[in-house]
Amino acid sequence: MRKRRRGSIALTLLCAMALLSAPGALAGTAFAAPEPQQGKSLEQVRKEIEGLYREAGTATDAFNLAESETKTQSDKIVEIANLVLAGQDRITALKGRAGAAARAQYRSGGLPPGAQLALSNDPTQFLDGNDRLRQGEKATSDLLSELNRTQTDLQQYARDASAHWETLEANRVKQEAAKKQVEDKIKAAEELESKLEAEQKARLLELEAEAQRKAQNDWLSTGGMTGSTGAAATDAGKRAVQFATAQMGKPYVWGAEGPGSFDCSGLTSQAWLAAGKRIPRTSQEQLRLPKVAVKDMRPGDLIIYFDDASHVGMYVGDGAMIHAPRPGRNVTMAGAGSMPIKAVVRPDA
């Protein structure tokens, strides 16, 4: 038994020595890490994990949009509530005026003072009374019109509040659904990564970096920056880039807008807010900003990635951008062409 065990240990040591003596082994490129799952290469697992995080990114954008719309609807409901209170106070005041007029009429025997003067035999008093009577009728008519108008406004406010409440609830449902999808996708990706051994995780990082370098080189070789004017950033663009650069190393957290963590559009929207420009919260909404040609990019411009506009980074010059990549990664700098570019937009166009 001991002989067999010693033989097994010796064989293991020989295999290890053979691997370590292979060219480039110390660099981690001369041997393949053990397969994480039967029938799947580490590259296939990388792509699967990347796909899950991409789907999580799309769901994060949906969550952020629903959250933003929910806040908008909440603000509108509060605004309507304030209008309702003001309208109710106005009606109370108008009814008070109408009551005061009715009491005065009662005290004068059922006729307003103007009417009593209008019935006078004195021509001067008659004309004066007739004029007052007309003024009183107009004041009463105006009061009733204002009362009706205010009541109509209150009815419209009630309808508006009901509509905004329905939208608010619909957005909350969307928000919860998107939140669950984000969490499910991230959990699935994390479970895949958790099955990897330490050397596989290290190799996974290398594969990610290799894929990004290849995409960047392919983009550059196809003329991605050909004809670039190398335009200088505006003052606001410089401030946005400075803010984004200062966040490097902070973790990606979906739905986060800082200060300790960010998601991709949280980083870009906060960077431009720091530069004095409020822009939409999500990458899909940021896509609606004024577009510029890739060759005309200048620092501070935003690069929208993928067909569904589910990711965004900020161009910083020299073919590079800063972005918050995905859960498990930190805000970092990468090649502007390391992912498929959908459009370039300019917040301060």
Query: Would you name the residues annotated as active-site residues?
Result: 264, 311, 323
Half-sphere CA count of 73, side-chain side, radius 13 A:
19
Q: Sign of torsion, CA 192 63 61 255?
A: negative
| Nearest Cα residue to 127 out of 140, 114, 108, 112 | 114
> Do the beta carbons of residue 289 and residue 302 sit within 8 Å?
yes
CA 105 to chain centre: 61
Report in angstroms the alpha-carbon separations of 289 from 202, 280, 281, 302, 304.
Answer: 39, 9, 12, 9, 11
Other CB atoms within 10 Å distance of the CB of residue 327: 20
Strands 320-323 and 311-317, by their bridges, are antiparallel
| Nearest Cα residue to 267 out of 334, 347, 322, 349 | 322
Q: Residue 117: is it exposed, middle or buried by C-beta count within 10 angstroms (0-12/13-18/19+)?
A: buried
- Widest distance between CA atoms in the chain: 141
From CA 269, how far away is CA 271, in angstroms rounded? 5
From CA 161, how far away is CA 85, in angstroms rounded? 13
Report in angstroms the alpha-carbon separations of 313 from 26, 50, 101, 342.
Answer: 34, 17, 68, 12
119, amino acid identity: L
DSSP string, 45-99: HHHHHHHHHHHHHHHHHHHHHHHHHHHHHHHHHHHHHHHHHHHHHHHHHHHHHHH
